[in-house]
Amino acid sequence: MDSERVWWAGYPAGVGRDAQPFPFDNLGQLVRRAAERYGDRKAETLVLPNGMEASLSFKEIDSLSDAFAAYLRHGLRLEAGARVAILLPNCLAYPICAFGALKAGCVVVNTNPLYTPRELELQLQDSGAEVLVVLDHFGDKVTAVVPRTAVKTIVVAGIADFFPLVSRTLIKAKLKLSGAVPALGLPFMRLPHALHQGTLYRAKEHLLPDSVQRPAPTRDSLALLQYTGGTTGTSKGAMLSHGNLLANMEQIAEITKVYLTYGEETVLTVLPMYHVIAFTINLFFAFHSGSHSILVPNPRPLRNLRAAFRNHEMTWMTAVNTLLKALPDEAWFRPEMTRKMLGAFAGGMRTHPAVLQRWEEVTGCLVIEGFGLSETSPLVTYNAAVRDGSRLRRTMRQVGGVGLPLPGTDVRIVDDAGKDLQSGEHGEILVRGPQVMQGYWNQPGETARALQDGWLRTGDIGCLDAEGYLDITDRKKDMIIVSGFNVFPNEVEACIALHPDVADVAVVGIPSEDTGEAVRAFVVSRKELSVEEIRAHCRSLLANYKVPTSFRFLAEIPKNAVGKALRRELRLPAASEG
């Protein structure tokens, strides 16, 4: 295989063919060593839209996550491998709870706050989570759901937690007056109280720092259930081990060592940390590299980012096409706000060439695209770059493509029979590397279909050129990606079909300048049905990004001989209409 790894020649000087391994057996050790190295430096700063801020140092986050680990292990008596679901936006509670759960030997279940109660219930039931950490804003969402799941303990965090007393009081008063925090009709534990209990357990039992994670997780231990859609529309939990996530961070460290300076960077964390991109890069890699992470809890509307840009000089950020397209159009946004930014690392969805070009023209800041999946922790390929003064410079392509396979990663392109294709030929993308998942949670059949002979069948269609540069030409089967979030037509169709006046339905993705792709539904109705009525029905069952943005009413859905909807026929006119 070595002779076929033509992409090695494209690595910049100083980037190795294999990543240098970290001296850690688990993610808890990574957190501990970063705290020892960076100590009292700011690790995370939460910036609210009104400009109010609260920060925690590396040492504080390490200590607080130790306390949360002790609470889980000794207060709740959770066994190693117990699942802890985290339903939080970007906030200071997130690293504390995620790090603490992993230190305790538990498994983090990232949970999207945009989920409807139905979607949340399905994920909690599938994961078997025993603990749910939730922001108080979402109390009404979990009240009806939790009794039908395995959740035994609810830990409630507040956006004001860890702010100074005066600021905390003001924030709580404003939230109370606005009615933004609904009542939670179930017993729960406030996060500060859980941390206090954990601190007492540690003191009482004279626990050394590493003791809270014994039996210590190994690289093979399960760390994360990252839920992604399935080809049938059913939710699947990608099983990522401590080793998978450490390996991907080792690879990221290898490719970025030619331009990032440990302990001196400031990263904008606007992508949610429950998304695998931000979980690996903004949460863990940023902590490992001593970066100061600026947390934005909700980027919508985009003016919520104004205080972060005004108060901090970011040196890098992660982003998706939607953000890169919209930011330059904001009246408050100024190019000088990115004057110290080395680059913006884009993933989750394809960055349109026009968006990339305009962003770079306006800001002078390079966009570095990559390709990844939840199943690969997530990064697989990257666009090579080096530091050129205060900016980054590409070493290969100008625009287009998703780059070279990471060090230690192999990529193949095969036809339907599994035969390797030549450079420039399009086929299914297969990936092999230490970042590839262990499998899908409780779904051996799906695991067997995805992992074959050591290779992950991504289902994505693409090609490798003569230099080993990957380009993606189609999405996984019929999956739709809206602002970086996966939407599967079968799930949307199933929800629409619940309406009593819907006789048949088919859902496809259409191009969107704003979100990359948008959802369009074709409906056959039994009687007159308005767009407003069917949209309201969808909103009651689906997260907002899954709700179709447009509807078309047909007399009949085109189908094949076995009755399967021919989405390809629907997609062509849908795409041409925009």
What DSSP element (H or E) covers 472?
strand 470-474
Lowest-confidence pick of 84-98, 112-126, 223-237, 509-523:
223-237
Q: What pLDDT does residue 561 have?
A: 46
pLDDT tens digit sequence for 253-284: 999 999 999 999 999 999 999 999 999 999 99
> Is-contact 149 125, C-beta < 8 A?
yes
> What's the pLDDT band for 571 if we cut at 50, 70, 90?
confident
Cα–Cα distance between 578 and 481 in angstroms, integer? 16
Dihedral sign, Cα of residue 459, residue 20, residue 31, residue 29: positive
Q: What pLDDT does residue 215 have?
A: 76
pLDDT tens digit sequence for 429-484: 999 999 999 999 999 999 999 999 999 999 988 899 999 999 887 666 778 989 98
Q: Does residue 248 have a pLDDT over 80? A: yes
Q: What pLDDT does residue 474 have?
A: 62
Mean pLDDT of the chain: 91
Contacts of 36 (CB under 8 A, 6+ apart): none
Q: What pLDDT does residue 568 have?
A: 78
In this prediction the pTM is 0.88
Most confident of 39-48, 328-337, 555-564, 568-577: 39-48
Dihedral sign, Cα of residue 399, residue 401, residue 402, residue 404: negative
Q: Does residue 230 have a pLDDT over 50? A: no
What is the phi/psi pair of residue 475, to 5°? Answer: -90, 165
145 SS3 class: coil
Q: Does residue 298 have a pLDDT over 80? A: yes
Counting beta carbons within 10 angstroms of the beta carbon of residue 550, is it exposed (0 to 12), middle (13 to 18) or buried (19 or more)?
middle
Lowest-confidence pick of 52-61, 175-184, 286-295, 456-465:
175-184
Cα–Cα distance between 372 and 381 in angstroms, integer? 7
Q: What pLDDT does residue 573 have?
A: 67
Counting beta carbons within 10 angstroms of the beta carbon of residue 421, is it exposed (0 to 12), middle (13 to 18) or buried (19 or more)?
middle
Q: What pLDDT does residue 574 have?
A: 53
Q: What percent of the chain has pLDDT over 70?
A: 94
Q: What pLDDT does residue 565 have?
A: 78
Cα–Cα distance between 97 and 65 in angstroms, integer? 6
Q: What pLDDT does residue 577 have?
A: 58
> Is-contact 497 489, C-beta < 8 A?
no
> Is-contact 223 188, C-beta < 8 A?
no
pLDDT tens digit sequence for 81-99: 999 999 999 999 999 999 9
* Averaged pLDDT for residues 391-411: 86
Cα–Cα distance between 53 and 44 in angstroms, integer? 10
Q: Does residue 25 have a pLDDT over 70? A: yes
Q: What pLDDT does residue 247 have?
A: 99
List the beta bridge partners of residue 520. 508, 550
Q: What percent of the chain has pLDDT over 90?
A: 75
222's tokens: 């399960």
300's tokens: 């919508």
Cα–Cα distance between 420 and 416 in angstroms, integer? 10
Q: Does residue 137 have a pLDDT over 80? A: yes
Q: Which of 305, 318, 362 is nearest to 339 (CA)?
A: 362
Q: Does residue 231 have a pLDDT over 70? A: no
> What's the pLDDT band for 499 if we cut at 50, 70, 90?
very high
Dihedral sign, Cα of residue 402, residue 403, residue 405, residue 411: positive
Q: Does residue 233 have a pLDDT over 60? A: no
Name the DSSP letter for residue 21.
P
* Averaged pLDDT for residues 235-253: 97
pLDDT tens digit sequence for 89-127: 999 999 999 999 999 999 999 999 988 899 999 999 999
Distances (CA, A) of 226 to 74, 236, 237, 276, 319: 26, 8, 5, 7, 19
Cα–Cα distance between 137 and 133 in angstroms, integer? 12
What DSSP element (H or E) covers 448?
helix 444-450
Q: Does residue 505 have a pLDDT over 70? A: yes
What is the phi/psi pair of residue 252, to 5°? Answer: -65, -40
List the beta bridge partners of residue 403. 470
pLDDT tens digit sequence for 159-211: 999 999 999 989 888 887 777 778 888 999 999 999 999 999 988 866 555 55
Lowest-confidence pick of 1-10, 23-32, 259-268:
1-10
List the beta bridge partners of residue 42. 57
Q: What pLDDT does residue 74 have?
A: 93
Cα–Cα distance between 313 and 333 in angstroms, integer? 13
446's tokens: 């799906």
* Averaged pLDDT for residues 316-325: 90
Domain residue ranges in the chain:
59-217, 409-474, 480-577
Cα–Cα distance between 112 and 427 in angstroms, integer? 32
427's tokens: 């086929």
Kindly report the three-state secondary structure assignment for every residue of 51-70.
CCEEEEEHHHHHHHHHHHHH
- Homologous superfamily of the 59-217 domain (CATH): ANL, N-terminal domain (3.40.50.12780)
* Averaged pLDDT for residues 11-26: 97
Cα–Cα distance between 508 and 514 in angstroms, integer? 17
pLDDT tens digit sequence for 351-373: 778 788 899 999 999 999 999 99
Q: Which of 97, 67, 74 is nearest to 85 (CA)?
A: 97
> Is-contact 269 282, C-beta < 8 A?
yes
Contacts of 498 (CB under 8 A, 6+ apart): 537, 541
Buried b vs exposed e over 493-511: b needs ≥16 C-beta within 10 Å?
A: bebbeebeebebbbbbbbe
What is the phi/psi pair of residue 16, to 5°? Answer: -85, 165
Q: Is residue 215 reached through a cis peptide bond, with omega within 30 degrees of 0 on the bond before it? A: yes
The verdict on domain 480-577 having CATH code 3.30.470.10 is no
Q: State how far Cα 207 lies from the chain centre.
A: 33
Q: Does residue 232 have a pLDDT over 60? A: no
pLDDT: is 311 or 503 the higher one? 311
Q: What pLDDT does residue 578 have?
A: 45
> Is-contact 542 116, C-beta < 8 A?
yes
Q: What pLDDT does residue 210 have?
A: 57
pLDDT: is 232 or 499 the higher one? 499
215 SS3 class: coil
Q: Does residue 489 have a pLDDT over 70? A: yes
Fold of 409-474: Luciferase; domain 3 (2.30.38)
Number of Cβ within a 10 Å radius of residue 329: 10
